[in-house]
Chains A and B, each alone.
Chain A
Amino acid sequence: MGSTLRIVNGRVHDPANGVDGKTRDICIKDGKIVKSVPPKTKCVDAKGMVVMPGGVDIHCHIAGAKANIARKLQPDDHRRDIHRRMELEKINTRSGTGGTVPSTFTTGYRYATLGYTTAMEAAAPPLLARHTLEELDDTPVIDKGFYILMGNNVLLYKMLQEERHEEIRNAVAWWLNATKSYTTKLVSPGSDEPWKGHRNATITQLNDKIDGFEQLTPRKIITSMVNTVDDLGLPHPVHIHCNNLGHSGNYKTTLETMKAADGRRIHVTHIQFHSYGGKPDGEPTSKAPEIAEYINNNPNITADVGQVMFGKSTSMTADAPLAWMLTRYSNDKRWVNADTECESGCGIIPFAYQERVYTHALQWATGLELFLLSKDPWRMVLSTDHPNGGAFTSYPRLIRTLMDREFRKQQMESVNQRAVAKIKRGHHMEREYTLQEIAIITRAGPARILGLKNKGHLGPGADADITIYDEHEDKELMFSAPRYVIKDGRLIIDNHEFRNNHEGKILHVSPLYDEGIEDVIRPFVEDFYTIRFDNYAVSDHYAPRREVIPTTKQ
């Protein structure tokens, strides 16, 4: 690239390097942050502005088969939110549509417009990884990666049933390589077999036997995968959507799941949806204090909140039984179910969270409690499980809610009061997140949890992904319109205007494995899938710009 840039006069928030609002220069050369640049370098004057690393979204649903059905499902959502093509000086951008499931180009531009520079697609069945990669290739500006669904994988179940642990490790490594993905994702482990194979039955306890695999339980799957990923030394641990999402009383399942990790690293995603008390089939209550306390006391656990934001959302999840359950509570009855052979399920239902509804207000308040009770912002980071809890375009409002207790109080007064009454009172309700803490939960923290050493910070060697915000009293306004956004050292947003296009890269892992495992996977694929084994793995063609993030063993 050869180009250099210097950001001057800005107040820098770089928590990973201990910089908390100090005014200092940031130097950029060849797409990376460097110690110094020649004096005649072009400068960006960030006087009166806040400088942070680019945002990192640790969990969103933006690309692949599931996202695309959700897109096709909701033309009504798109019609109201168009995204025009822009003719810029140097290049033109692509048009698109928005709503809660934007088209791919719009997704990339909107993340960039918010100052986010990395986003991780949270769930793809390995068989359909090619689709996710094609869509990510059409998602401009940002760097991206994705997690592959492995918690309902029939071949792995067979191996686990026979306790072939060495083979499991090699198979998981093979799958990560074959799909160019980032880590293994577990969604409600054990729940697909009864759903698909036993006339839509469900599984609720971690010790329940799994349909067709009587020696297996969700607990065994969780333990096996946690150990496997740990053994492989992946930069990001198993990423788990716990069983019983959304059900009253499910906090017990969540605590059991975290305990099943037995001190090993585990990332519990959108944990708000898993923090409810109350009787099964009864009204939910909040158990955020119990969940927050466990996480505070157990440093092997990381989580993203999965905050609910009032307004339109789309529930789209590999937790197919959950989506079926939600049809009861949604006014929009357009339910989608999509099974993927031998690997996964999927359910989609358009949804809306309303302030006046007890459950929705309870969910909203539970999420806020988790943020406010968290003692370690590095381990309880921001997400809305886009678009399940709300679209990523709601992040600025969420940030304001965390930083501005008056604003939060006003909102609390306008939601269902019965739900608010259920929330624990205490000091934490007065807490206001600082800019530094916001920088942690939206950038530095997710990058660290993901094991991305060159993201989420502004030290030398980091990717030059930088966001510069005008300082504003109204934090929602501040975070929704950065003044400058730099990606790989290139000015994408310059003085609030879209200036340049850019293509980000795929971040993936490539753990070592014994190629002999192919002799085990091949016959299974030929018998029980409907494509040939040698047509399964994704070729380099699908990730023309990519970076391998090494494991701890490499």
Chain B
Amino acid sequence: MMRVAEKAKSEGNIKIVEDATCTFCGCLCDDMVLTVDVDAKKITKAKNACVLGKALFLNYEEEDRPFALIGGKEATTAEAVEEAAQILANARFPIIYGMSDTTCETQRKAVGLMDMLGGTIDSTTSVCHGPTGMALQGVGESTATLGEIKNRADLVIYWGGNPAESLPRHFARYAVTAKGMYTPNRKKDRTIVNIDVRHTKSVPVADIFIQVKPGADFELLWALRALVKNRHVDPNIEKKTGVSLKTMKDLVERMKNCRYGVLFFGMGLTMTRGRHFNSAAILSLGSDLNEYTHFIATPMRGHGNVTGADTVVAWQTGYPFGVNFSRGYPKFNPGEFTATDMFVRGDADAGLILASDPGSNFTQAAVDHMKKIPMIVLDPKYTHTAKLARVAFTTAHYGINVPGTAYRSDGVPIELRTCLDSKYPSDEEVITAIYRRVEQLLIAKKRSKGANNKRQKAA
């Protein structure tokens, strides 16, 4: 089956792979030129990569670790599959969590596994832009692919995010210094605004910086909405938000009079006081402005394929994250079926962590529960989560060893190229193997239940 055509030139031991995609962040830059030392199994150069991409590619190495660990002891992949399948088949409320750093092909299979088991599926969206997904359900959104912004945006507002450090090429590739069809003079054709509670490394690139009081983003957004709609705003808003009405009115004038405006937003809104209300407020502001001009509001996303996780779970179930199948059909309830909550309340009795490391960043209460239940982990690295897992698989790197699909933060799907082989299996291979074995175990369970029933009836 033909994958995306090989775009590599080899000279002896050295291979140059063009148009490779970096999967570190949601920018999903697909213009990497990788110099690969095939014998050493290392990537020695990553042209066009930012500091994060360089870390991803240049630090890559095929570690000499066991294929799997069961209870800390070395095991084969096949043995680990058996153990993992037994855990899942015998669980009553299992969850698969993570998914943001693996291919869509894997994500699709993972959802299928929980569908079969009547378990729960959640992705890192629930600690990232889950609130934005919930806000969309409430208010809709006006959005665009990043090329529209490159070509047309003359007003770019960053709110509650720090792309300089988390999405380093966002400015150059898409929104600030990028050269587009109607923005041939790059930054000179644009006004950049930064709104945040503190002065981050993203501020210097902005023409206007507005510092808002921590926890007051919602009030500021709502006041801006009111001003857009020519409503009166009480001057006490200034004390509440730390922003003067004069500044707000100036911003609103710029927004109404631009040719194509963009609001980019991040965790500063989704993970602070207000959460999905903040997201809903900024999405609504973006939509409201379309009475005057063309305006969009869109999230900045941190992981390479978290957008893919939302996209896949939504097309397969109707809901973007936090989906439970216990009743034989998908149910959506953030707070009930999201991973953090299921761990903190102690509901989950088994967990499979795929392409994520909640062991390193979830709350102590969640991690304590994860230590109590049988956990399965799939990761190229020996992460914190792998350390506390009953079964830890070493899997290959997507976008380096493993091909597949990833979705950029704006929903553009890209087929990943590979540049090095790996001896380890891919996430997809492992999930598929677990799926098949679980299927057999469930059939056997059903048969023996049926046999028991017959015996009981006969007795």
Interface residues of A (CB under 8 A from B): 63, 65, 67-69, 71-76, 78-79, 82-85, 92, 94-97, 99, 101-105, 127-128, 130-131, 134-135, 138, 154, 195-197, 199-200, 324, 333-342, 348-349, 527-532, 534-535, 538-541, 544
Contacts and interface: CB of A to CB of B under 8 A. Distances in A.
B315 A127 contact: no
A539 B403 CA distance: 12
Interface in B20-61: 21, 30-31
Interface stretch (B270-278, B326-334, B346-354): B326-334
Contact of A540 (B2, B296, B330): B2
B65 interface: no
Interface in B119-155: 133, 136-148, 150-152
B145 A73 contact: no
B17 to A, nearest CB: 11
B316 A96 contact: yes
A135 B318 CA distance: 12
Contacts of A76: 137
B144 A197 contact: no
A131 B143 contact: no
A193 to B, nearest CB: 10
A342 B137 CA distance: 27
A341 B182 CA distance: 13
A128 B318 contact: no
A337 B148 CA distance: 13
A57 to B, nearest CB: 19
Given A65-B411, A529-B147, A130 B405 contact: yes
A190 to B, nearest CB: 16
Given A85-B115, A105-B316, A532-B30, A539 B4 contact: yes
B90 interface: no
B30 A131 contact: no
A39 B450 CA distance: 39
A535 B330 contact: no
Nearest to A530: B147
Interface in B384-421: 403, 405, 407, 411-415
Interface stretch (B68-76, B287-295, B369-377): B287-295
Contacts of A338: 142-144, 411
A355 to B, nearest CB: 26
A148 B24 CA distance: 31
Contacts of A63: 315
B200 interface: no
A97 B180 contact: no
A130 B1 CA distance: 16
Contacts of B316: 94, 96, 103-105, 138
Main secondary structure, interface of B, reads mixed
Contact of B320 (A72, A341, A539): A72
B145 A127 contact: yes
Given A72-B137, A104-B316, A535-B4, A131 B311 contact: yes
B3 interface: yes
Given A199-B294, A335-B287, A532-B31, A540 B1 contact: yes
A527 B173 CA distance: 11
B137 A71 contact: no
B115 A72 contact: no
B330 A200 contact: no
A341 B414 contact: no
Nearest to A532: B19
A333 B152 CA distance: 27
Contacts of B182: 197
Contacts of B199: none
B315 A339 contact: no
B260 interface: yes
A96 B31 contact: no
B92 interface: no
Given A74-B137, A85-B328, A200-B294, A337 B21 contact: no
Given A65-B411, A134-B413, A197 B259 contact: yes
A102 B314 CA distance: 10
Contact of B3 (A195, A200, A541): A541
B18 interface: yes
A336 B254 CA distance: 23
B174 interface: yes
Contact of A95 (B146, B152, B330, B403): B330
Contacts of A95: 115, 317, 325, 328-330
Contact of B174 (A84, A154, A530): A530
Contacts of A196: 148, 152, 260, 294
B188 interface: no
Given A200-B293, A541-B3, A348 B173 contact: no
Nearest to B141: A336
Nearest to A92: B116
Given A72-B136, A336-B140, 5 more contacts: A72-B310, A334-B139, A342-B151, A531-B30, A541-B1
B140 A78 contact: no
B78 interface: no
Chain A CB within 10 A, most for which of B139, B180, B315? B315
Nearest to B403: A541
Given A94-B112, A96-B316, A197-B260, A339 B143 contact: yes
B319 interface: yes
B346 to A, nearest CB: 26
A79 B319 CA distance: 10
B138 A530 contact: no
A462 B20 CA distance: 43
B458 interface: no
B108 interface: yes
B5 interface: yes
Contacts of A530: 145-147, 150, 173-174, 412
B423 interface: no
A355 B317 CA distance: 32
7 contacts: A96-B330, A103-B316, A334-B138, A335-B140, A335-B142, A541-B415, A544-B1
